[in-house]
Structure 1
Amino acid sequence: MAGLQQGGATPQSITVHAVSRVLEVEFSDGAAFRIPFELMRVYSPSAEVQGHGPGQEVLQTGKREVELVGLDPVGNYAVQPRFSDGHDSGIFSWDYLYFLGSQQEQLWTDYERRLREAGVARDAPMAGKPQHGCSH
């Protein structure tokens, strides 16, 4: 995920829509996506969210109203969003943004299933920070 697939689509424009809380990305292959900030935050590729290995993912809740307060370029291959809840450690490669945009419906379905399985409401506040030795 940390790079750009050879021959993969690259963003032609990226627009932050603060009021509707979506990131609009238009790619070189003609695809265009409106990715909700909440989806980006819930599926952040950071270790804080994904953990350090399979099965260590941290279910994110209470992110429906999260805002994007900054979007910094990372080389020529990614952006690093800064969210209103203080999360800023995820680096979103062009490939990952394309994945989020193109798979939104399935990702939302998976997220809702994980919430149900955990018995947690989407808008519940996050539990205490995980204690897994990370300094995130």
Structure 2
Amino acid sequence: MTVAPITEADANRVETVADVMARHPKLCHEDSTVGDVRQLFADDHVHAVLIMSGTRLLTVIDRADLGPEAADSAPAARLGRLSGRVTAPTTPADTALQQMIAASRRRLAVAGPDGTLLGLLCLKRSGTGFCSDENVHQRQREHLQ
């Protein structure tokens, strides 16, 4: 097997959020309820719930957004926010990592300029890097056993 040499452009390439994001996050539709979101948060690996309208991200819900006063039957799309919970795919991964650590966030939605969801940036519990789709699938397989 022949390995292509690393070019100067490759060596100088900055890894972006798009390079390290999970591309297949769990999603909720705009008609999801607070009760639906509470069920997702029963899994301690779930740190954010993404509410969608088609391909457009409506809101990102954190556990803290679910106050005890919120009725299970209430629309979940009214909770959460996008500000501080979304990043662009072109953001350097190291920059996003530092922002997440500073804000004590483990998840950031990745969206295009038109609001289309592209993926989810998932900070590992260790804080040393990001979970891949394969990491997520492996954890799901282990959970089912």
- In terms of Rg, which structure is larger? 2
Q: Which has the higher contact order (CA 8 A, sep 6+)?
A: 2
Structure showing the higher helix proportion among its residues: 2
Q: TM-score, normalised by structure 1?
A: 0.27
Q: TM-score, normalised by structure 2?
A: 0.26
